Amino acid sequence: MFSDPYDSSSVVPFPASRGKRQPRERLLEAMLLTSGEIGYEQVSVRNVIERAGTSRATFYKHFEDREDCFACAYSEASEWLYRRLLGVARREPTWRAGLRATLAELLEFCANQPALAKALLIEVHAAGKRPLAQRADLMERLSRALDSARREIPSRQAPPPITSGFIVGAIQSLLAAKLLDGDAERAPEMLPGLLHFVVMQYLGESAAWEEMTAAPLATWSARRQAAAELPHGG
């Protein structure tokens, strides 16, 4: 199974609950969504406060400037996504099953929240040193979690240590391309190919083809459609 030394019990959900949200939470979400929609370099404090429904004074009460706001938003949102993915993996009995569930969850996230995904995967590169340092740490943690596959395979069959970092970077690049093309809704269709790519590196060609040809998990749109068709209590 995937593992990580951090305690997930203290993680604050993101986006915040849709109930009565505090101004800071609304500002963080507004920063990321606006950045994902028009690009970080085009975002102004005015854009953010108007979307969040707050005042300029409230913005500067919580953040030093636009850069500080994005860095805080990126830190909380990326941690939320990381915990969400790790939690999905931990519920599965094997590394392979955890990988399958995690990739499906990540692809559905991109399909369901493309603006947020674009902010986290693409616009972070334009937002300065602080969020880039946070991104580097996140990529390292994801790489370590992925590399836990070594516990389930003989050491002589294990790939080089750099493999997990290469895989995480490649997946990020593929998702970024899908988001830039405006085709995020079809991201879940990448699941069989990504499973083949990742499993091949750790478990070999036979296991990789098994993953690719097996019935894939339902796509995001199919799962949402099925949920909508369920009977609702009166």
Residue 159: its pLDDT value, please? 86
Give the whole-number percent of the chain exceeding pLDDT 90: 62
Mean pLDDT, range 166-177, rounded to an integer: 95
Q: How far apart are CA 154 and CA 142, in angstroms?
A: 22
Q: Could you report the per-residue pLDDT of 107-135, keeping only the tens digit for each?
A: 999 999 999 999 999 999 999 899 999 99
Residue 11: its pLDDT value, please? 39
Residues recorded for the chain: 234
Query: Which tokens in the block code for residue 202?
Result: 């750790």
Do residues 69 and 47 lie in contact, with contact meaning Cβ atoms separated by under 8 Å? no
Q: How far apart are CA 168 and CA 146, in angstroms?
A: 8
Q: Could you report the per-residue pLDDT of 76-105, keeping only the tens digit for each?
A: 999 999 999 999 999 999 998 999 999 999
Residue 7 CB-density burial (10 A; 0-12 exposed, 13-18 middle, 19+ buried)? exposed
Note the pTM of the prediction, 2 decimals. 0.83
Q: How far apart are CA 28 and CA 42, in angstroms?
A: 16
Apex 44 CA angle, 41 and 124, nearest 5: 40
| Residue 32 pLDDT class (50, 70, 90 cuts) | very high
| Residue 2 pLDDT class (50, 70, 90 cuts) | low
Which of 5-19, 24-38, 45-59, 174-188 is predicted least confidently? 5-19
DSSP letters, 55-76, are -HHHHHHH-SSHHHHHHHHHHH
Whether the per-residue pLDDT at 72 is higher than 60: the answer is: yes
Cα 199 to chain centroid distance, Å, stands at 20
Do residues 94 and 26 lie in contact, with contact meaning Cβ atoms separated by under 8 Å? no
Give the whole-number percent of the chain exceeding pLDDT 70: 83
Radius of gyration of the CA atoms of the chain, in A: 19
| Residue 210 pLDDT class (50, 70, 90 cuts) | confident
Nearest partner of 66 among 35, 89, 90, judged by Cα: 35
| Residue 65 pLDDT class (50, 70, 90 cuts) | very high
Distinct helix (H) and strand (E) counts, the chain: 11, 0
Which of 110-124, 143-157, 164-178 is predicted least confidently? 143-157
Q: How far apart are CA 34 and CA 72, in angstroms?
A: 15
